[in-house]
Amino acid sequence: MDTIKLSTGRKKDNLNTSIIALYFLLCFFSLYEFQLILINSLIVLLGLYLFIANFNYIVKKHYSLLWIFLLFAIYSSACLFLFQDRVTYTPIRVMVHFALFITLIRYNINSVVIKWGLYIYVMYMLYLIFVRGIYINAIFPGSSKNIVGWFSLGLCVLYYVAEVGKKNIQNANLHFNLLPAILTLLLCLVTLGRSNIVCSFLLLFVVLWYNLKRFSIVKKMFFTLLIAIFTISVVYIFYDLLESGLQRFDQRGFESYERDLMIVGYRDKLDFYTFLLGVNSDQYPFTILNGNFHNSFLGGHSSFGLMFILFIGFIVQLFIKNFFKSFIFVMLSLVLLIRSYTDAIMFIGFFDFVLFVLLFKIKKN
């Protein structure tokens, strides 16, 4: 009987791993802006299937979370449809991410599938850049080079989230594979996105720290030296390609005229009503960049208004209370949040449900 239950459990784990992989494949295709209506419809159908398949589990175990996500979806509808007169998928995507979030906390997603998906993506991007000679900014129509590195960064964080879950179940000593973080860093260096580079270094540091915390000082120094040699070698080999990006980082850091303009413009538009219901992106200066705030936090407030501010407040107090107790989860969350400050890629993007899983694990711990 136990064998049958274990076999059934593994089949469900594999099925849901396949669904998560299909979701990211659809997200990848959407970056090419080809058949977007069809792709978005398929993503919604995936979310609907997961929601229905997990409905009894949700009602029994996470009924309160269902109401929280419904509240965000309804409030977002009020912000976008009623107050700002905008038609978007955001309220529907909130529930899609809820379904994906439930799937990740209920089932043991196979981290090997996520890892190889990341490897294939990184190798394909490097092939396009070095073999096909495609300009970095031209890889994805309508998206900048920053999205190339961001997609690998999000997948890499998801891989380590799945790894933590697997090793907790096996009661094994937690030891992460460094290669996903190294390849992510390599792609971010090649694509020259400043925030991608910083966040991929942060991710590698977190993984290294967790792997080495039980080692002696000598081993820590040895592995740190190896990583330093690897990084210096990559910079030396690709120096001509990296030079312009490194100079730009040295001169401007994270500063960007466009992003500063969006922040100042958003702040100027705030009043009592926009504080509660968000600022419409279809007005100057946001129309300069086609309504792209280039800041996920501005986009989050625009879509969710006061609810988003409460959500950020919840995250801050959660991190403060659990920083040392749930260090790995807090740091993985920070990788996503720091990266999202410089582009409109979260709240709601491709990887929001990964952040929700991390916050859930921090709260649970």
Place of tokens 């398949």: 53
Angle (CA) 201 207 212, round 5°: 120
Query: Is the distance from CB of 139 to CB of 148 less than 8 angstroms?
Result: yes
Instruction: Tell me which residue of 191, 143, 73, 148 sits closest to 290, measured CA to CA.
Output: 143
**In terms of Cα–Cα distance, which of 228, 205, 224, 226 is closest to 328?**
205
Query: CA-based Rg of the chain, rounded to a whole angstrom?
Result: 21
Check: CB of residue 272 under 8 Å from CB of residue 263.
no
In this prediction, residue 249 carries a pLDDT of 56
Side-chain-facing half-sphere of 39: CA atoms under 13 Å: 16
- Residue 110's alpha-carbon distances to 163, 210, 315, 351, in angstroms, are 8, 21, 27, 17
pTM of the full structure: 0.89
Cα distances (angstroms) measured from residue 342 to each of 51, 85, 339: 32, 26, 6
Q: Which pLDDT score, from 0 to 100, does residue 228 have?
A: 75
In this prediction, residue 244 carries a pLDDT of 57
pLDDT of residue 247: 58
pLDDT at 293: 87
Query: Measured between alpha carbons, how far is 113 from 244 in angstroms, rounded to an integer?
Result: 35
* Tens-digit pLDDT string for the chain (365 aa): 455 555 567 889 999 999 999 999 999 999 998 888 899 999 999 999 999 999 999 999 999 999 999 999 999 998 888 888 887 888 999 999 999 999 999 999 999 999 999 999 999 999 999 999 998 889 998 788 899 999 999 999 999 999 987 655 444 456 789 999 999 998 998 888 888 989 998 999 899 888 877 677 777 677 778 777 877 776 676 666 566 555 555 555 555 667 788 899 999 999 999 999 999 988 888 888 778 888 999 999 999 999 999 999 999 999 999 998 898 999 999 999 999 998 889 998 999 999 999 999 999 87
Tokens of 49: 């299937």
What distance, in Å, lies between the first and last C-alpha atoms of the chain?
Answer: 32
Q: What is the pLDDT of residue 245?
A: 55
pLDDT at 224: 73
**Domain coordinates of the chain in residue numbers?**
1-97+269-365, 110-256
Q: Which amino acid is residue 192, in one-letter code? A: L
Identify the DSSP state of 192.
Answer: T
Query: 343 phi and psi, to 5 degrees?
Result: -155, 155
Q: What is the pLDDT of residues 183-238, one digit of tens each?
A: 999 899 888 888 898 999 899 989 988 887 767 777 767 777 877 787 777 667 66
Q: What is the pLDDT of residue 170?
A: 47
Q: Rounded to whole angstroms, what are the CA distances from 5 to 2, 9, 52, 60, 212? A: 5, 6, 22, 20, 37
Q: Which tokens hold the place of 157?
A: 């964080």
Sign of torsion over alpha carbons 352, 357, 359, 360: positive
